[in-house]
Amino acid sequence: MIDGTDFSILKILQDNARTSNAEIARQIGMAPSAILERIRKLERKGIIQRYETRISPTALGKHLTAFTLVHTEEPVGSTGTGEELAKIPGVLEVHYVAGQDAYFVKSRTRDPEHLAELLKQFGRIKAIRDTRTTVVLTTVKETMNVPLESMPEGEPE
């Protein structure tokens, strides 16, 4: 699906999505127009999904990170409750998971009082039976970067 050049482009863009085509071309040893075409192809294939700006949550007063396991009464395989959870401001991630609980939710709020308000919103969703929340004391690592140490196996270099 991707070759060594595409892989190199992905590594550069994942480190800094604002890297210019000219700079990527300089690092890889290709023409900027060829880099642009490869990036467009990676976007069309859905390998590059979008470009985002990472904002410091604490700079905006979102000091509390919490993870909540959500147990529901919805049928196995149904993700309607997850879609409702995803619409709540402060919810950053919603994962449908295997096991006793149906969802694993990551949220950021100002403080414990705002977390309590967020959890009240969870409680308004009819299918939610109960929740268990863990508050983060210190974040050691947090990233959205996909590990790109080496080419995926089976891919041509």
- Average pLDDT estimate for 25-52: 96
CA-CA distance, 101 to 81, in Å (whole number)? 12
Name the CA radius of gyration of the chain, rounded. Answer: 20
User: What's the CA gap between 154 and 157, in Å, rounded?
Assistant: 9
Residue 59 DSSP symbol: G
The residue whose two tokens read 């480190």 is: 15
Q: Count Cβ atoms below 10 Å from residue 19 Cβ, excluding itself.
A: 15
What does the pLDDT average to over 51-72? Answer: 95
**Rounded mean pLDDT, 90-112:** 96
Average pLDDT rounded to a whole number, residues 95-101: 94
Q: Any idea which architecture 58-135 has in CATH?
A: 2-Layer Sandwich (3.30)
Residue 65 in contact with residue 34, Cβ under 8 Å?
A: no
pLDDT tens-digit profile of 72-87? 999 888 999 999 999 9
| Higher pLDDT among residues 32 and 76, named by residue | 32
Mean of pLDDT over the chain? 93
149: confidence class by pLDDT, cuts 50, 70, 90: confident
Domain range 4-44, CATH class: mainly alpha
How many Cβ atoms sit within 10 Å of the Cβ of residue 81? 21
Give the span between the Cα atoms of 106 and 19, in whole angstroms.
Answer: 30
pTM of the model: 0.83
pLDDT band at 88 (very low <50, low <70, confident <90, very high): very high
Q: Evaluate whether 73 touches 129 at the Cβ level (below 8 Å).
A: yes
User: Which stretch of 17-21, 55-59, 122-126, 146-150 has the lowest confidence by average pLDDT?
Assistant: 146-150
Domains of the chain by residue range: 4-44, 58-135
